[in-house]
Amino acid sequence: MAAVLLEGKVVAEGLKAKVKAEVEALKAKYNKAPKLIALQIGENASSAVYVKAQKKVAELLGIEYELKTVPGSTSQAEAEVIIKNLNKNPGVTAVILQLPVPKDIDAKSLVNLIAPEKDAEGMHPQNLGRILLGQYKIGPCTAMAVMELLESTKISLYGKEAVVVGHSEIVGKPLALMLLNKFATTTVCHIGTGERGVLPEHVKRAEILVVAVGKAGIVKGDWIREGAIVIDVGINRVGDKISGDVEFEGASKKAAYITPVPGGVGPITTTILMRNTVELFKEQVK
């Protein structure tokens, strides 16, 4: 039987409605709205697409949004001062550093400098640490988006065999912790797993499979366990098309649920960024 498509747009719509209602209630109670600043260093075409999407979703949800663009020639020290000033500014409730940054800028140390209470992407070590402790309301947008997709199936994760392929700091690692927090029996695969040649045997066990590698079709359709939930985070340009890390056609014949690429995880991430922004605001006004 063909798998049910897990469409990000549908999940994002439900989330947007919740966040919008929450913003309205907060505005009524505190007479102010959350304000997210996107700091962009230099011009970048891919970042421009994200910024446009962020602005649109923020406006829709009643969140104030401002893009602060500084020249590509900005030094690390100057960028640090900008972030410190945003941290101090009481009118700014959340900050995101748009990636990529110019090659001479160390993005990680700038992200670490964003005050954890204004860290809209949930990438500050303190916020990542909260995920380890299972005490978090915000988190890296893509990992949180995957959890929303899983939740939308209403299938309990308790005790399930979950396999995450990819162990990046923005997706695989935080996601593995989130799955553990839900008591899924979680395996994390990565380049070492692939190079040892044992990726298929791990994938074949997965009742919940999340793939975030960035290599088109690295997971073959016939590896998928019958009835699995398959979340494909990968975005790969193949010719003039975008495709995922999982061979969709074969996988969708075996899975119970599967995300399309594009249209799975991607449409949810911007809404999660806004939900993070609102959660940070709630803590600040408490």
Give the shortest CB-2-to-ligand NAD separation in angstroms: 23
Should residue 34 be labelled a site residue for ligand NAD when binding is judged by CB under 6 A? no
Instruction: Give the binding range for ligand NAD (CB under 6 A) out of 12-20, 115-123, 129-137, 164-172.
Output: 164-172
Should residue 171 be labelled a site residue for ligand NAD when binding is judged by CB under 6 A? yes
Should residue 260 be labelled a site residue for ligand NAD when binding is judged by CB under 6 A? no
Of 92 and 143, nearer to ligand NAD (C-beta) is: 143
40, 193, 252, 259: residue in contact with ligand NAD (rule CB under 6 A)? 193
- What distance in Å separates the CA atoms of residue 184 and residue 177, rounded to the nearest whole number? 10
* Nearest of 141, 153, 166 to residue 234 by alpha carbon: 166
Buried b (16+ CB within 10 A) or exposed e, 25-50: ebeeeeeebbbbbbbbbbebeebeeb
Should residue 1 be labelled a site residue for ligand NAD when binding is judged by CB under 6 A? no
What angle do helix axes 8-30 and 266-285 make, rounded to 10 degrees?
20
Should residue 143 be labelled a site residue for ligand NAD when binding is judged by CB under 6 A? no
Give the shortest CB-177-to-ligand NAD separation in angstroms: 15
Instruction: Give the binding range for ligand NAD (CB under 6 A) out of 32-40, 94-102, 150-158, 159-167.
Output: 159-167
Should residue 168 be labelled a site residue for ligand NAD when binding is judged by CB under 6 A? yes
DSSP per residue, 202-239: HHHH-SEEEE---STT-B-GGGSPTT-EEEE---EEET
Of 116 and 267, nearer to ligand NAD (C-beta) is: 267
124, 130, 160, 167: residue in contact with ligand NAD (rule CB under 6 A)? 167
Backbone angles phi, psi at 71, to 5 degrees: -60, 155
- What are the residues whose beta carbons fall under 8 Å from the beta carbon of 281, sequence distance 6 or more? 26, 34, 93, 94
What residues form DSSP beta bridges with 187?
Answer: 163
Should residue 263 be labelled a site residue for ligand NAD when binding is judged by CB under 6 A? no
Should residue 275 be labelled a site residue for ligand NAD when binding is judged by CB under 6 A? no
Q: Kindly list the residues in this chain that would bind ligand NAD in the complex (CB under 6 A).
A: 142, 165-168, 170-172, 189-191, 193-194, 199, 212-215, 218, 233-236, 265-266, 269
